Amino acid sequence: MATQTTIESLQKRLQLLEDKDALQSVLNKYCNSADDRKWDEFGSCFTSDGVMCFEKWGDIIGPEKISAAAGGAEDRFQGLQHSMTNFEFTVEGDAAKARCYLWFAATKDTSKPREHHAFGGHYHFEFKRTADGWRIARMHLQKIWAQNEDTEGVFGS
């Protein structure tokens, strides 16, 4: 028969697994909504005071401004692919952090896939649990490599 301590331990472990799965779902929504150009959905991944920080863009605060900045930069491309790997989550109550890698590619014309710009780097996320579930409180992306020229000049140096 399970003891109270065993049940509490299992509940904590289950909660951690559920939280990590929910955080992964937020990041999947973040990437998929960007690829699909659903900018309102992209912005909904952030808290009301959420911050997105990337290269020369600096800190962009709030879902509406984040949606507008991302859409303004990426709508000019016909093909987008945001891929994240190597996730590492830490959860402490109603706050969480994540580190992962980005592999991104964009092409102006999908009929010419060799004409693309790609880059990768490290993402650092901070999350808050809200009444609507986990949301991104802060995102910082540090680009560490690039392939082909950023002919549109939207993704920093």
Instruction: Check pLDDT > 80 for residue 154.
Output: no
Residue 73 lies in a domain: yes
Q: Is residue 28 part of a domain?
A: yes
Return the pLDDT at 2. Answer: 67
Find the range with the poorest average confidence among 73-77, 85-89, 108-112, 147-151. 147-151
What is the average pLDDT across 74-100?
97
pLDDT tens digits, one per residue of 10-49: 999 999 999 999 999 999 999 999 999 999 999 999 999 9
Q: Is 105 inside a domain boundary? A: yes
- Other C-beta atoms lying within 10 Å of the C-beta of residue 136: 24
Residue 86: the pLDDT is: 97
pLDDT digits (tens, 9 = 90+) for 47-85: 999 999 998 889 999 999 999 999 999 999 999 999 999
The CA-CA-CA angle for residues 39, 68, 119, to 5°, reads: 80
Q: CB-based burial of residue 1 (10 Å sphere; 0-12 exposed, 13-18 middle, 19+ buried)?
A: exposed
Domain-embedded: residue 140? yes
Q: What is the pLDDT of residues 118-150, one digit of tens each?
A: 999 999 999 999 999 999 999 999 999 999 888
Q: Provide the residue range defining the domain that includes 26.
A: 4-147
How distant is the alpha carbon of residue 19 from its chain centre? Answer: 16
pTM, full prediction: 0.92
User: What was the pLDDT predicted at 156?
Assistant: 67
Residue 157: the pLDDT is 57
Note whether residue 155 is domain-resident.
no
Does residue 152 fall inside a structural domain? no
Res 8 pLDDT > 80: yes
Q: Does residue 153 lie in a domain region?
A: no
Question: CATH code at 102?
Answer: 3.10.450.50
Task: Enumerate the β-bridge partners of residue 79.
Answer: 107
DSSP per residue over the chain, as a string?
Answer: ---HHHHHHHHHHHHHHHHHHHHHHHHHHHHHHHHTT-HHHHHTTEEEEEEEEEGGG-EEESHHHHHHHHHHHHTT-SEEEEEEEEEEEEEETTEEEEEEEEEEEEES-TT-TTSEEEEEEEEEEEEEEETTEEEEEEEEEEEEEEES--TT--S--
Domain count, the chain: 1
The answer as to whether 101 is a domain residue is yes
